Homo-oligomer: A and B are copies of this chain.
Amino acid sequence: MARPGGRSARVQEAVHAAVHELDAEVGRDALTVPLIAARAGVTPSTVYRRWGDLRELLSDVAVEHLRPETDPEDHGELVADLTAWAEQFLDEMASPPGRAYIRDALLGDPDGDNAGQCSAYAAEQIDVILRRATARGEQQQPDVETVIDHVVAPMMYRILFRPGALDAAYARRLVADCLERGRR
């Protein structure tokens, strides 16, 4: 007899994989719960019971995509670590797939749990960078919430609300300003 947790994890994996495959094959707008269920080898009612509807399923898949796979790179210095992280974050989030995942994560998530999870991922990465700086003996760092407010928030706000060019120079300027604040 399979443990419920084991089956549950396998169902989730199969359904997420089916979404990825079908997204690539037939495109996002053609996805339906019956199509996804058939590819995953489960019944549509399994999907409805677990995820509610297609939008909530896509929100979960998006959050999974937005989860960082590794710790931020270590460049030996706070300013270099935070700059590299912010440049990569902006590059990923402002890309067409990144924008689609952010929208999906927000839209199928009336309670805000998935959006909160996305923000928690960013906060965890920043926390790793700041702890590393502390371990090196670097002084006068900003705290995680200050980096969220003045580096992450402006990038995400502009991606969602403010059309216009977003380049690596913008990310670098936000980081430089944020660290300068911390030094005052």
Contacts and interface: CB of A to CB of B under 8 A. Distances in A.
Contact of A157 (B107, B153, B181): B153
A119 B154 contact: no
Contact of A181 (B115, B163, B177): B177
Given A149-B154, A154-B153, A174-B149, A161 B107 contact: no
Contact of A112 (B118, B119, B157, B163): B163
Contact of A118 (B118, B158, B161, B181): B161
- Mostly, the A contact residues are helix
A150 B154 contact: yes
Interface residues of A, number: 24
A120 to B, nearest CB: 8
A103 interface: yes
